[in-house]
Amino acid sequence: MPWPATSQSRVLAELAPLSERGRDDIPGPNGEAPPNPNTQLPPCAPALAWAQNPAREVHVSGAAQRSCGPDRASVTVKISSTKTSAAEAKNSVGRRLDYITQNLQKPAAQAENVTVTKDFSRIENAYHMEAEICITFTEFGKMQDICNFLVEKLDSSVVISPPQFYHTPGAIENLRRQVCLSAVENAWRKAQEVCQLVGQSLGKPLLIKEEETKEWEGQIDNQQLSDLAGSLSIQQKIQSATIYASSKLCDLEYIPELESPHL
């Protein structure tokens, strides 16, 4: 399944820097007028002017990558019978269908959703009955146990399709959110280490901008996947269905906190 092109950059959060407050007739946070530059400043004014200097901003970047394996698998079980009598064809399929559904209803099976469809038709001088059971599993180990059990008990009278692994929408959204938060955390740790190195404390962020996000599926390329489609193991199929996501923050700005001035 092709993934959408790389997304454009987006600003996640932005605060007006201190250097813009009290300039160009911009009022303060409580609506007060900007200070008059001719007014005599209090003793702490040098420290405040130092805080309003944009040069004290710390700019860092951050990136992260995460993966999420499929959380659902679907398997289709087919049973059929062709008889000269319609009743015999229906009874043959019905007995096996009841046996399968009864085992799927056991708590140990952990089948999340079971859908049954039936088809009855006339083929020349015989009657053909076919039933298809579509089963959704959340536990892949239980899925393998059920499939092996049905093959062992019903032998060639059932046809079981290879499992199809996929993600629920909630799992993908959670992956996108987590990789973005990890990138922000990595950038925050970097900014914190920079401030510690120069003897400052890290303040609140002024700007958090996500520049690039990417998503891709599996570590097996399409050609290799096509060549091995019929011979992939369960683990290889899970790996090929695993979704990877990355997030890159091009610019994350902080302003160091001021220490109390010594008067």
pLDDT in tens, 55-69: 578 888 899 999 999
Q: What is the pLDDT of residues 174-223, one digit of tens each?
A: 999 999 999 999 999 998 898 888 888 888 888 888 889 999 988 665 55
Backbone angles phi, psi at 135, to 5 degrees: -120, 135
Q: Per DSSP, what are the bridge partners of residue 68?
A: 243
Residue 110 gets which letter from DSSP?
Answer: -
Q: Are strands 164-166 and 243-257 parallel, antiparallel or unpaired?
A: unpaired
Average pLDDT of the residues in 63-85: 95
pLDDT reported for residue 224:
58
pTM higher than 0.75 for the full model?
no
Residue 100 corresponds to which tokens in the numbers above? 């399968």
Average pLDDT value for the chain:
79
pLDDT at residue 28, rounded to an integer: 46
Q: State pLDDT tens for residues 15-51.
A: 444 444 444 454 444 454 544 444 444 444 444 444 4
